A and B are shown apart, each in its own frame.
Chain A
């Protein structure tokens, strides 16, 4: 639908794109409004999972009975994001493709490797107290701002898209590219692809799940660290666990290393701390965001402890 035009953009809720047009970060020559497309339904998937249309608004997603019942972590993550007004506008597809809120990225008078490849990254030596500690590079330390994406990552969501050549699908873990030397290349979607749906596999574990977000206001602020977790305990031992971090990397961060430590281990604060440490050994904090390592470790222990308590009830 973009007719191969690299200067065209899909417009969903506009909560990020219109803002970026105003600041001059985005200067699309054409806009294609996709909100009237028939992609606004939440339906049961054949495998028992849930298929969420790409133009479902955040509000409708969070209020959906099946989401609240079966995937509470997702409803909580969505409700933790933005404001009531913005959730009414923002769409699922747009949420996944929103850009970083790094202040150097949004200021067109600043260098930024993500915006202007090769121009530099002032955050490395400048303001970075809310920048990435995991998976970043010397070229970019920006974080992905999504809350919803963190829950979807923990839930192994699959992202469906449409291109001129036909449909395709990606596991959400493969949606975002590593930062490396090309922070301006953010997703593995083909040029011109339109996200059409996000599918959640059936996940009984998700019935006992939650999202905890820490931010610098009690509401209406981006995270400085968040955890999406789902926990299934059998006889006090971790049978299944899903763990993802927000606001610590260029993408929602699936904590596979922590999950490996947890699976099969006895539930308890020591196990949870060991799991967090296993994930966070990869952390490379900058001079002024080392607190995030402490924060994420404490959050993992707190959230898993709460879920373990729930499971024991």
Chain B
């Protein structure tokens, strides 16, 4: 196993801009997404969701619906195939019981699937689904999340430990000359990828085949095999083009429903979520209520850092949004207490959403640091530089590269930070008050075991098989560049095949670790192949294939603090008379490992920053206390940033190759959103003199907060 290479960056294509290899298909409409692959004899399934938030299904009037034109079957808890949920899947956790469709009569939240209507056409399925009358025994429900629920909350370890404590918090706070104690909230947020979740399932030659839109076919195939008690080799999941995921495209109700219906009907069945259904079925980011206490010396040097975060989960599954973990590797302090807790409500289970934990957590922590800078009369960047740790502030481990200071220095220079007047509320341009803000960003740099194969074909080309998922990240293109360099051939001789569980186990597109994990496996196989190929040697018709498995190499990585970092800058204009806020420019400078493809990497980092803008100003799903569902569950009711909201946003990076990665990659998928909302909120304070600790910062909040100039 080769785990280190050197000296290639000077020559190869890695690090140079390359348009997406599937780009032409995407701009011509030729790229087919999951719901667009034709199947003969295709039937269409339509999910029926509960209209009560808690209770039991007493009866379903299926007979009426079965008599409707084109209706083939109605699956309910009375007749659906049984599934097994007693397993731990690829993600290391038991499945969300929300994927165990139609197994019992309990309704744990509004929008819980209670039936699947399958018909010859989607119009027939839809009409029948809307006609199906479901009788419930309704029970009182509770969906009211707030900081006041702390008493019922309990800490849960998710993908981060729930509680980390170092030092004597009370003593350090008491000894602090300056203390910031503030509460922050972030609302329920939904991923809303542009492509709704869609899956088609069919049985073919004794195998279950699923064409799906997901972030990892190995993950989905494994969970489906477990759920339906199938041999792992009997399930194939394909997902070639994915119209966005952001954490929402794992194992969800649509795949399970499609498999059930295909099994019962012995024909292909497609299930597509409507946009409205996605607000119940696709997962979401929990609202958070966070409290941050910072204690510092007069010069801003931290003595105490406490971050407590509360999030909600469903009554059937624990999912923790580890917002309090954001600061554990960021700032040195003698006392460091962080805890993420959750409270159970009659709501759908939340899930991973771009930078889970870090996105809301950094809003609170990086806003609190800005408040501390204000109180100490220290420049916000200087404050952060003064609290730079030499080693992990809690872990004591060395950093595998920490170039946050370089990000701030370069960002400050390019943004023009030195000319900034620190006083709030003093810059006016017509009806607008202007302000600037900054915040730090970080996100863990992980690698996960993956397998790959590289084949030298008889025609002189090379085929790379890696079960990666390109959900818009540019992974397919990045892996093409990496393979070309490892093989020392031009990119047009490399074909990368992804998105098919038959390609073998590999990391999902998630945790900002996809491209790094896949690149590692591809590099290992390609280099071994290259070494083994004698120049001019004959290639047999079936080609020469080398396989790799990085399990051992990834497992051998030394324990270190491994993160991407970044410095976020924003300038905003606020009209105090109307509450309108416009972001005028954003700049992010990142230390995020080696950048494989600057064209797509910049786009992805900028996209993350725009997510931060959208989070800061727009996004909020309001859970209606009476119905228990999301009010205005569509893209007119749930605002994401539109073209007109987004100014010129720039992302750039400093040199920061990971010394322990064969390609030097760290990961860029999520660090772009981290800190971006805080930078904007801090800029709003700088513009108006009013702190906004609750997202989103909308006109109603600006006006209600007063401070009208």
A: which residues have CB within 8 A of B?
A: 23-24, 101, 103-104, 106-107, 109-110, 122, 125-127, 129, 214, 216-222, 224-225, 288-292, 294-295, 298-299, 301-302
Contacts and interface: CB of A to CB of B under 8 A. Distances in A.
- A interface SS class: loop
20 contacts: A23-B276, A24-B130, A107-B631, A109-B627, A122-B626, A127-B622, A214-B580, A216-B699, A218-B582, A219-B645, A221-B639, A221-B642, A222-B636, A224-B699, A225-B578, A288-B700, A291-B700, A294-B708, A295-B699, A302-B431
B645 A122 contact: no
- B interface SS class: loop
A125 B642 contact: no
Given A224-B699, A298-B577, A299-B578, A291 B704 contact: yes
B698 interface: yes
B698 A216 contact: yes
Contacts of B626: 122, 125-126
B624 A126 contact: yes
A126 B645 contact: no
B578 to A, nearest CB: 5
Interface of B: 51, 130, 276, 431, 577-580, 582, 618, 622, 624-627, 629, 631-634, 636-637, 639, 641-645, 698-700, 703-704, 708
A265 to B, nearest CB: 21
Contact of A122 (B624, B636, B644): B624
Contact of B51 (A101, A109, A290, A291): A109
B632 A291 contact: no
B130 A217 contact: no
Nearest to B647: A218
Given A101-B636, A103-B631, A220-B642, A126 B698 contact: no
B625 A126 contact: yes
Q: Which of B578, B622, B626 has the most CB of A within 10 A?
A: B578
B375 to A, nearest CB: 29
B627 A110 contact: yes
Given A221-B642, A291-B579, 7 more contacts: A104-B631, A107-B627, A110-B627, A217-B642, A219-B645, A294-B703, A295-B578
Contact of B642 (A24, A104, A219, A294): A219
A222 B632 CA distance: 13
A218 B645 contact: yes
B639 A107 contact: no
B453 to A, nearest CB: 45
Contacts of A219: 642-645
B631 A217 contact: no
A218 B642 contact: yes
Nearest to B646: A218
B631 A218 contact: no
A37 B636 CA distance: 31
Contacts of B578: 214, 225, 295, 298-299, 302
A256 to B, nearest CB: 23
Contact of A291 (B580, B582, B633, B699): B699
A302 B577 contact: yes
A126 B636 contact: no
Contacts of A299: 577-578
Contacts of B703: 291, 294-295
Nearest to B111: A109
A6 B639 CA distance: 35
A310 B643 CA distance: 30
